[in-house]
Amino acid sequence: MPRLFGTDGVRGLANRTLTAPLAMRLGAAAATVLTRDSNPAKRRPLAVVGRDPRVSGEMLAAALSAGLASKGVDVLRVGVLPTPGVAFLTDDYGAELGVMISASHNPMPDNGIKFFAAGGTKLDDAVEKEIERELDLLEDTGPTGAGVGRIIEEAPDALDRYLFHLSRAVPRKLDGIRVVVDCANGAASDAAPLAYAAAGADVVAIHNSPDSYNINDSCGSTHIDVLQKAVLEHGADLGLAHDGDADRCLAVDSSGNVIDGDQIMAILAVAMKEDGLLHHNTLVATVMSNLGLRLAMREHGIEMRTTRVGDRYVLADLAAGGYSLGGEQSGHVVIPDFATTGDGTLTGLNLMARMAGTGKTLAELAAVMTVLPQTLINVPVADKAAIADSPEVTAAVAEAEAELGETGRVLLRPSGTEELFRVMVEAADAETARRIAGHLAAVVAAV
């Protein structure tokens, strides 16, 4: 069978490719694989299940919880919370696994299922493949009587636990900083404004009224122009934009300029080095990060490692090397001393703490890195594998790389969550980047 898991969990159009029966079977398979080392005689295995506000999450959470309970796992439903909150609570409650139902930045009709192992860590490829194999072996029978898992519908202290955890991760008070936060009508609509206000910031929250249908709808980190206008309108020091499940954070300075994940990582890497917190003097990023980030890190004596696209690959490298900062240009920033995954609210807190500690504006801090012109085009495709094997695409890439030489780079990669092929070009000037990217995108589209 084809792989169900993509770059970040299992995603699809809810009730079409990602159905309630599939969710139930995934719950049962995950329960079988992720609780093998538990001791039911001592305590029944526990799963923490959270979701973002999209309407299909209610259906999928119910089905997945049923699948987990059918294999003898107790389920604690924590309701609408950010993905990093569910990861934290998986560890904090001592659960054997956690599940977040969200399609992150994708449109409302989509949804996804993300699993966490004990401790709140993301699954590696081998474990995901084991769950997929278990799907083919599942039997309809399970424990009976007292062996059936319980479903606890409410965890009243879940949000408070997560907020307290965030409060311990803020290095200093944020008094005097005015921030506009765009919650994307998503999972952080309560958590992010509360966390920023508790740290002392003057918070203006927008798109923080989810109605099950408006998540990511012309708002959040994928529509940052709305935040740019709001920052200027409210005279704020900065703006922060989250995506639907709040594992991302992008920023806007007081003049409305976008500060992306690469720039945020540059700011935090320099800050952590100065404070002696940048383990092994190393930042971990992905191949999508701007060449300007590598140049900035070199200038400040910081090593930079690169991984495949996907925050779980960043997380794996962080864990393997004992590093303390990593992330993606898209705004996934990971600070392992305080989180097992990307946490947009934690990122925002640390970014504002750097402003408070230095007395500098966000624009001044972002000047640590010069962003090279970069063009990214998402090309809809029917068969991502055919693009990778195409001789026409290979020849076009070779021609582009020969033209750019040492002044830029080309990166083509399939999306792990959508039927898209991503074409990225960096060059010394914006026009060259646009021209070459446009040509490559046309070649990809024609295959």
Residue 124 assigned as binding residue: no
Helix (H) or strand (E) holding 98: strand 97-101
**Gap between the Cα atoms of 70 and 48, Å rounded:** 15
Catalytic residue among 104, 289, 324, 330: 104
Residue 317 assigned as binding residue: no
Residue 247 assigned as binding residue: yes
Of 432, 367, 416, nearest to 103 (Cα)? 416
DSSP state of 258: E
Our answer to whether residue 324 is catalytic in this structure is: no
**Gap between the Cα atoms of 102 and 312, Å rounded:** 16
Neighbours of 71 (CB within 10 A): 21
5: left (phi over 0), alpha (psi -120 to 50) or beta: beta
Q: How far is CA 323 from the centre of its chain?
A: 19
Residue 74 assigned as binding residue: no
**Gap between the Cα atoms of 384 and 387, Å rounded:** 5
Q: Are 206 and 172 in contact (CB under 8 A)?
A: no
Q: In degrees, to the nearest 5, what angle opens at C-alpha 137 toward C-alphas 135 and 138?
A: 70
Q: What are the Cα distances from residue 423, in Å, to 66, 209, 402, 441?
A: 41, 35, 17, 6
CA pseudo-torsion sign 386, 389, 392, 397: positive
The three-state secondary structure class of 13 is strand
Q: Could you tell me whether strands 74-80 and 151-152 are parallel, antiparallel, or unpaired per DSSP bridges?
A: parallel
Q: Which residues pair with 10 in a beta bridge?
A: 113
Residues that are catalytic: 104
Known binding-site residue numbers: 104, 243, 245, 247
Known binding-site residue numbers for Mg(2+): 104, 243, 245, 247
